[in-house]
């Protein structure tokens, strides 16, 4: 009898969980404010939110929870990611569709004052000549190599007054991130020799940073280096202290090249976890240069007692944020840039729940942020990017619930 009751209880529990998951996957109907936002043109951004404005005196530094200029005025990172150079085509996306200057102006018109530009170590190592068809809208770059195209794209952004943070995204040029141990950290030379197509030591990782950033030493709007994307080690086993020590070694080398750069250090556990900072902060040879970074997606939080963020209540979500990274902001310890987050143009109920909770909290703490991503297409197979903020022409904005909330956050 007890066995039969147990079977019934397990059955009811499984059915409940199945129904709850099914409910999270149902389409979300936009609210009235989102619909109204989509029907009107986007207001132009304020010029004084860009570093090119005379309102700012460079270089930047950190002060408590904020990034500030030499007069103590806060510069809030309102960023978007522009990917592609970290993938198998080796260059930022869209250069076959629009001139890089046009894409830069599109980003500026959306109100983003900064761009996170990912690259792969393989891009630096191989530095291939870029095929003509990938540069059909940028004919002046035909015959150039990947590093030249990356530099030209960054320069287009800074010429438009947009600040740039360069990001070492992945070792092997491909879509990031999965369980492959070869790309789970900044070095993979501890793994068997035949396992990784692209192998590198920590010293080589730092050398690649030096090679790339040497091109930007004299560009004042290249403001920093995001040292490594989503460090996680072998299946989530990366100790914070090990990563912090490596970040210090790399950061000090880069500051030797340009002491004005901000050094961005992401959390472990795929960017989610900065709990170790309280016990072991990153300390560099130049003071007030460390910015921490966290990534927050709907599927984050899996394996925890509260579950994935797509299913959390707001109090549960905020509790997780405060534990993982937001204590640094709320206690005025150090800046934290939410360097990646995002949601699809046609969200499910779970997607919307995550998004509304996250953006509500980011507004409450007036956070620095970096949306993933501007790109309408992925490099591999030209697949549609549902997280994109522009149409396939790289010009037409997607004015939906995401831009509504981010515009509100930008203009706080």
* Pairing state between β 61-63 and 66-68: antiparallel
Which CATH number applies to 30-410? Answer: 3.20.20.80
For 195-232, give the DSSP string.
Answer: T-SS---HHHHHHHHHHHHGGGTT-TTEEEEE--SS--
| pLDDT recorded at residue 107 | 98
179 CB contacts (<8 Å, ≥6 apart)? 235
Other CB atoms within a 10 A radius of the CB of residue 379 amount to 23
The DSSP secondary-structure symbol of 171 reads S
User: CA 83, 179, 402: angle at the middle one, nearest 5?
Assistant: 40
| pLDDT recorded at residue 234 | 79
Other CB atoms within a 10 A radius of the CB of residue 307 amount to 14
Q: Can you name the residues that pair with 384 across neighbouring β-strands? A: 377
Ordered per-residue pLDDT tens for the chain, 412 residues: 665 655 655 454 444 444 556 679 999 999 999 999 999 999 999 999 999 999 999 999 999 999 999 999 999 999 999 999 999 999 999 999 999 999 999 999 999 999 999 999 999 999 999 999 999 999 999 999 999 999 999 999 999 999 999 999 999 999 998 889 999 999 999 999 899 999 999 999 999 999 999 999 999 999 999 999 999 987 778 999 999 999 999 999 999 999 999 999 999 998 999 999 999 999 999 999 999 999 999 999 877 888 999 999 999 999 999 999 999 999 999 999 999 999 999 999 999 999 999 999 999 999 999 999 999 999 999 999 999 999 999 999 999 999 999 999 999 9
- Extents of the domains making up the chain: 30-410
pTM of the model: 0.95
Q: Pick from 116, 119, 115: which is nearest to 90 by CA?
A: 119
Token pair for 22? 């099914």
The DSSP secondary-structure symbol of 98 reads S
Token pair for 279? 């016990």
| pLDDT recorded at residue 175 | 95
Number of helices (H), then strands (E), in the chain: 12, 10
Token pair for 30? 């936009």
Backbone angles phi, psi at 61, to 5 degrees: -155, 180
């Amino acid at each position: 009898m007890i066995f039969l009751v147990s079977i019934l209880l397990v059955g009811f529990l499984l059915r409940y969980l199945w129904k709850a998951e099914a409910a999270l996957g149902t389409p979300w109907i936009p609210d009235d404010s989102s619909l109204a936002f989509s029907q009107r043109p986007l207001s132009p951004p304020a010029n004084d939110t860009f570093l090119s404005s005379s309102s700012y005196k460079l270089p930047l530094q950190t002060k408590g929870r904020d990034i500030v200029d030499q007069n103590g005025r806060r510069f809030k990172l309102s960023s978007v990611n522009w990917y592609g150079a970290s993938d198998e085509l080796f260059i930022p996306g869209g250069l076959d569709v629009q001139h890089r200057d046009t894409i830069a102006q599109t980003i500026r018109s959306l109100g983003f004052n900064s761009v996170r530009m990912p690259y792969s170590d393989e891009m630096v190592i191989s530095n291939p000549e870029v095929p003509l068809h990938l540069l059909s809208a940028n004919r002046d770059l035909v015959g150039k190599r990947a590093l030249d195209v990356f530099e030209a794209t960054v320069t287009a952004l800074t010429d438009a007054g947009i600040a740039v943070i360069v990001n070492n995204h992945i070792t092997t040029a491909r879509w990031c991130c999965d369980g492959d141990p070869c790309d789970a950290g900044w070095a993979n030379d501890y793994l068997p020799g035949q396992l990784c197509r692209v192998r590198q030591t920590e010293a080589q990782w730092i050398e690649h940073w030096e090679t790339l950033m040497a091109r930007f030493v004299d560009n004042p709007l290249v403001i920093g280096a995001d040292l490594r994307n989503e460090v996680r080690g072998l299946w989530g086993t990366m100790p914070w202290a090990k990563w912090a020590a490596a970040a210090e070694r790399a950061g000090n080398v880069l500051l030797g090249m340009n002491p004005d750069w901000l050094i961005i250090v992401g959390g472990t556990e795929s960017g989610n976890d900065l709990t170790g900072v309280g016990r072991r902060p990153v300390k560099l040879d130049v003071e007030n240069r460390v910015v921490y970074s966290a990534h927050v997606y709907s599927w984050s939080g899996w394996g925890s007692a509260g579950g994935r963020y797509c299913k959390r209540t707001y109090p549960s979500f905020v509790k997780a944020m405060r534990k993982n990274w937001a204590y640094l902001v709320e206690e005025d310890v150090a800046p934290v840039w939410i360097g990646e987050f995002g949601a699809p143009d046609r969200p499910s109920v779970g997607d919307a729940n995550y998004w509304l909770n996250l953006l509500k909290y980011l507004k409450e703490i007036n956070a620095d942020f970096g949306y993933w991503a501007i790109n309408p297409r992925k490099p591999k197979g030209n697949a549609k990017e549902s997280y994109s903020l522009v149409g396939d022409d790289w010009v037409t904005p997607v004015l939906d619930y995401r831009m509504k909330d981010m515009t509100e956050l930008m203009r706080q």
